[in-house]
Structure formats: structure tokens, C-alpha cells
Chain A
Amino acid sequence: MTELGAESARLAITGDDDVVRVRQLARSYAQQLKLSLVDQTKLVTATSELARNTLTHGGGGAAEISIVRDSRRAGVRASFQDSGSGIPDIDLAMTDGWSSGNGLGLGLSGARRLVDEFELDSAVGRGTTVTVVKWGR
């Protein structure tokens, strides 16, 4: 893990244990911001799905977790990048139950429902970046 200041860190995702580390880091930031237990759980579950996607579909990559602030509130942002083959059909990939692998097909669509902001950027041959934000209330 590379600390990028007190409120941001970057983690390589190259194995199962990194998925666990991403979860732990997301939780520690969420606790720091005193997110409710339900919001913490939703954020951590979403990061777990996305980190696993980075590993299994993107062939590994990195996660960057940060605390973000606007004028009214603070939140946790988690960004996942890989340089894998990319997603050819994003609408299809976002569909509940559709899976390119042997998963349940809930990773992307499910993660989106658990967070407040969701952004997906992917191009075939270039890789995929997914960024999510969970705001405190």
C-alpha cells in the first residue's frame, strides 16, 4: 500500500489477499468519517465486488481509496483501474445476472446500487476504470 497523504492510499490488486486489503482500507476510511454501519457495509461490499472484478476480469490492477469533500459533506471514493481487455458492451455488463465469467453477474450492477455515485470508463484493449463514491449523511 502506498499512502498518498493522510486521506488517500493506493493498493495494487494482484491476488485474493489484496481484495481483503481493499475492503479493510475502505472500511477504515468509512469509519474515520463515521458513516453509518449500513453505509459502511454497503461501501465495503461494493469495493469487494469491484476489486474482485479488477482481479478476475482485468487481470489485476490497482485501487485508489480516498476521502473526498464538497462544501456540505465528506465521503469515501474508491477507484479501480486495470489494463485488461476492457468491456465491449457496457450496457450488457451492467445488466443484472449477465456475467462474462462464472460469477453471478451482480458485481457491477450490484455495486452500483450500493453507492451514491458510479462511473465506469472502459475501452476494448485499453482497460477499465470504475470509480464509486459513498457520501456521509
Chain B
Amino acid sequence: MDRVPILRIGDVLLVSIQVDLQDQGVLDLQEDLAEQLSSVSARGVVIDISAVEIVDSFIGRMFATIASVSQLFDAATVVVGMRPAVAITLVELGLTLGNVRTALNLEKGLEILRSTTIGRTGAGWAQPPPEATR
């Protein structure tokens, strides 16, 4: 099965999900991202789901896992481009994405990464990450 490509743009890893992911594909992506995070010095991960038609509990959990793993590598994760129907469905499903940051689109997501990593120290957050700027 095809793996979801992870693009590196500067110090940001960009994942754009363009296929209907099987559960194994979700697990592969988690592993690939962890691998990338450990080998390059990324300060952020952006997951673009603008092409994703459904987010069920398995995919939702992937976002939370990726966010937690990336934090261990001192990187922040932002999920961008959620479709309105997906957002409504997630809320009714009862899935909260925990600590996962979300943004309207790629541009806003990159803005969030810029603002949350200002003042970052090697040991983690120098201060609590500011709320998303709108």
C-alpha cells in the first residue's frame, strides 16, 4: 500500500492526506513521522486534511498520538483544513482531539507554529504556548 508522503519544508514537516487511509496506513504514517522527527530537527508538523472525507475515532486518535510524539521531539502539531461536515461529525461522535491544535488552513497553521515556537528552549516550552491567533 502507498505510504503518505512527508514533505520537509524548512523546519516544518508537512503531511497532506490525499487517500482514504486504511488503519495500517494510519499506523505507518505515525511511525514514518516519528522516524522523521527523530532524524531532522523539525519544530512543527502540519497535517493537512482538506481532502479527507471522514475522520473516525481511529484517525482522530492518530492526530492525538502524532501530537504527543512530536512533543517528545520538541515539535508542535497543527491539523489544518478540516471540512465542515467532518467537524460536525467529530463533535457528535464525541471525539475530542485533546491537545491537538487545529487551524483553518495551511497558512494559519504555519502562523500558529511560528508563534508557538518563539521563545522555545531546548528543554521544552519557555512559556505556555499562546492561544491561536486569528
Report A's interface with B, CB cutoff 8 A.
16-17, 19-20, 23-24, 27, 37-38, 40-42, 44-45, 48-49, 52, 96, 103-104, 106-107, 109-111, 113-114
**B89 contacts which of A38, A52, A107, A109 (Cβ < 8 Å)?**
A38
Judged by a CB distance under 8 angstroms, whether B88 is at the interface is yes
Across chains A and B, which 8 residue pairs bring their CB atoms closest together, nearest first? A41-B85, A110-B93, A16-B22, A48-B56, A38-B85, A106-B57, A16-B23, A37-B85
Judged by a CB distance under 8 angstroms, whether B125 is at the interface is no
On whether the beta carbons of A23 and B54 are closer than 8 Å, the reply is yes
Report B's interface with A, CB cutoff 8 A.
20-25, 53-58, 60-61, 83-86, 88-89, 92-95
A109 to B57, CA, bound (A): 12
**A20 contacts which of B22, B60, B85, B94 (Cβ < 8 Å)?**
B22
Label chain A's interface by main secondary structure.
Answer: helix
A16 to B27, CA, bound (A): 12
On whether the beta carbons of B22 and A42 are closer than 8 Å, the reply is no
On whether the beta carbons of A45 and B55 are closer than 8 Å, the reply is yes
Residues of B within 8 A of A113 (CB): 92-94
A104 to B57, CA, bound (A): 7
A74 to B43, CA, bound (A): 50
Residues of B within 8 A of A20 (CB): 20-22
> Closest approach, in angstroms, between the C-beta of B108 and any C-beta of chain A?
23
Known: A38-B88, A40-B85, A41-B88. A104 touches B54 (CB 8 A): no
On whether the beta carbons of A41 and B23 are closer than 8 Å, the reply is no
A20 to B88, CA, bound (A): 21
**B56 contacts which of A16, A40, A45, A96 (Cβ < 8 Å)?**
A45
On whether the beta carbons of B95 and A110 are closer than 8 Å, the reply is yes
A73 to B104, CA, bound (A): 36
On whether the beta carbons of B89 and A42 are closer than 8 Å, the reply is yes
Residues of A within 8 A of B54 (CB): 23, 41, 44-45, 48
A32 to B78, CA, bound (A): 35
Residues of A within 8 A of B85 (CB): 37-38, 40-41
> Closest approach, in angstroms, between the C-beta of B65 and any C-beta of chain A?
11
> Closest approach, in angstroms, between the C-beta of A87 and any C-beta of chain B?
18
A44 to B53, CA, bound (A): 9
Most central of B56, B58, B83 by chain A CB within 10 Å: B56
A41 to B49, CA, bound (A): 14
